[in-house]
Chain A
């Protein structure tokens, strides 16, 4: 079996495609193997997307891959509509909010700007390999030093403020700054979405800052929609791979990573076909990659323990409702394609929903994020908290109960929605796990938590993309900097592999 490829990328999620494109553009012969019939992973299934609402692909990556930033970041960011108990919705775009009083508008604007400055400090690490614990290379140490410098350059007051809040919870921060309500609810939704944490959980300021650190041509912390929807992003990345001479195969699930002499040697597909390559990058979650595809026999016991005990419990369910007409908003107008709806009237509502899920139950009133796709005539809802380990399991009945409670909550923002729905699909965290190689059905392949970030992501000893078996790399959301659609994990992993020799 002589290697026909320099590198195999397991999984054509956006990170896998970014990694493949980065390697291919450096002259490496790459092959992307995707188990499903569509590209783009959680972004890509046009029938039922796990992640219908991307954050922006990092501008640095767009530049490195020579993609069309205007196309990928759209002409303007999404506007967020957040609903309180009554009245008109608040309309938020970045640091600008309307529909509330002038003082809150001002306070929110100031808070958003401050968090943005503080998020930039974290942003310094996003495109870097996190330093090794105890044995950082010069380059890694330099990146950390750069972050320290940026921290200091915030000025004494703001640096102290960041250090004060960074490990605390978003509940305290937002109550101090803007008070509880639909505005705080929308921010707390950003801080908690995808994770097993409520606004009162420690570390939620950090996750909020993480979201704030996302970068697009319109500014930081914004959701953007590529022109042509998520498919346009997936197509742009896939085209980038093929244009650079890379191959992509769908319907080719990988069953095993082959190892020869303690080095990655290729993969074996479920069909039995073996494909050799000295470099294997896995876009699957760390647990699936290491415990299932590689196998624990190649790993030390402590490493396996840290891997299997890392937190990755999925907490989001996805629901698609087929609706012919754009849904009518409370207070007039209709939800359009450029808008994002948040139904989290208070932080307390999010916390209450989390309380049920903590103990394996579905909340009576889940909190929601929704968009309407006018072309597909579909309302896509992300509902939290829907625990992966739901008591009694994810039966059809459980899904029906969730769907009913989601429609009840939606009715507050979109009155009279239920009768207009003529088709419903529900995707539980278990479905996400089975369908996308994401252990626990976790969006980010692992909780974005202070003990699972930077040099501890996905866990201690595995944080620098390269795995103990030489030639094997993690390139998915489980690796630093983690989830959301930024492409940074795939980009960093590919660069780490190239730095290591690229084989």
Chain B
């Protein structure tokens, strides 16, 4: 029998250019790219210090187009989203955004993300990991449409103290009245842009959702208006510093999705992640509810905690000890915070450490000083997140920096 070859859609090999790639290439002096969901995403364009300080003192642009985005629409959209996430989404107002997590049937976290509510029947889910098959499983049997709109929506994070002023300069009247986690539509350079007051920096900032065809026009308008507001394009590394200060968790770094772990005990529950406040056990059945109900009555087997460490050396990949001898945990994210002037980290601590036992904890830091490695035991203590808090994040209207 003769073989028949069906033409297969060509899969792009290597990294894909995103909607802002042309501009990013022009500014990327380091030519330093990382793979973010198949897109070429800058890690550093100039120097990480300039970029970081722009987040906290000026304003910054970061291309978030590679975020996975799903439109969930239809008569049962609210029921499906409420079935997916652990928060009570019925309480989410129109034109509002909520940070959410969702769990598998064992109450283990699958991913986190933000849910945008545009109307009674229209939602959008933004998250790090592809979730289409998961969403289809959750939505099976409901009158709802789920569409991957990742490539239909370009995203830009405009973050920093001067971001509101910059948008006002562009003629976006009313942007100053947009409250945190609010969504509104504006026109920038003739293009309709949906703007949400959300971000990953813990600072004043916005996320702009743009049609890919308008991407470069909007970019150019922002860059032009940003000249006097200190606007700087940033890469992943600077954002990573800000997000640790802001107390946000990063999948694949601070926790693993229950969908990707090989060892079942590597997945995490909301209680272990300290996200109890996101779980509404009193709402109707949602995925993982029964398991979460059981878990909520038990002591978590370990806990992700925020710690502050003595001295100034960041505790990357460090082990945590009790009384300098007993190994009780490990650091996932660490940073010398230039703004807080604190040596901060997130760490997993096995029960009872970090829960009933919180004293006499030490971090083992390895330092390299001109080839020579040194080991330092630094005392650490549990602190509250976030590390960086500033009233301008929530002030409405924001100050005119």
Residues of A in contact with B (beta carbons under 8 Å apart): 262, 291, 295-305, 308, 461, 468
Contacts and interface: CB of A to CB of B under 8 A. Distances in A.
12 contacts: A262-B290, A291-B141, A296-B140, A296-B141, A297-B79, A301-B105, A301-B137, A301-B287, A302-B137, A304-B140, A305-B137, A461-B105
A298 B286 CA distance: 8
Interface in B270-318: 284-285, 287-290
B178 interface: no
Given A297-B284, A297-B285, A304 B137 contact: yes
B105 A300 contact: yes
B290 A468 contact: yes
A367 to B, nearest CB: 29
Interface residues of B, number: 16
Nearest to A297: B285
B138 interface: yes
A133 B141 CA distance: 27
B83 interface: yes
Given A299-B285, A300-B287, 11 more contacts: A295-B141, A297-B83, A297-B141, A297-B285, A300-B104, A300-B290, A301-B137, A302-B104, A308-B140, A461-B105, A468-B290
Contacts of B137: 301-302, 304-305
Interface of B: 79, 83, 104-105, 134, 137-138, 140-142, 284-285, 287-290
Given A262-B285, A262-B290, A297-B284, A302 B140 contact: no
A468 B79 CA distance: 19
B129 to A, nearest CB: 16
A304 B141 contact: yes
Contacts of B83: 297, 301
Contacts of A461: 105
A258 to B, nearest CB: 14
Contacts of B290: 262, 300, 468
Contacts of A468: 290
A296 B105 CA distance: 13
Contacts of B105: 300-303, 461
A121 to B, nearest CB: 31
A46 B152 CA distance: 61
Contacts of A304: 137, 140-141
Nearest to B141: A296
Q: Give the interface centre of B134, B142, B285, B287 by most chain A CB atoms within 10 Å.
A: B285
A300 B138 CA distance: 8
A296 B80 CA distance: 11
B139 to A, nearest CB: 8
Nearest to B84: A301
Contacts of A295: 141
A419 to B, nearest CB: 44
Nearest to A307: B140
A56 B141 CA distance: 39
A291 B140 CA distance: 10
A296 B284 CA distance: 12
B140 A305 contact: yes
B140 A298 contact: no
B135 to A, nearest CB: 9
Nearest to A259: B285
A298 B289 CA distance: 10
Contacts of B141: 291, 295-297, 304
Nearest to B135: A301
Contacts of B142: 296
10 nearest A-B residue pairs (beta carbon): A300-B105, A296-B141, A301-B137, A301-B138, A302-B105, A305-B137, A300-B287, A298-B285, A301-B287, A304-B140
Interface hub of A299, A300, A302, A461 (most chain B Cβ within 10 A): A300
Contacts of A302: 104-105, 137
Residue with the highest number of chain B CB atoms closer than 10 Å, among A297, A298, A461, A468 = A297
Nearest to A305: B137
Nearest to B105: A300
B134 A301 contact: yes
A298 B142 CA distance: 12
Contacts of B138: 301
Among B79, B141, B290, chain A packs the most CB atoms within 10 A around the CB of: B141
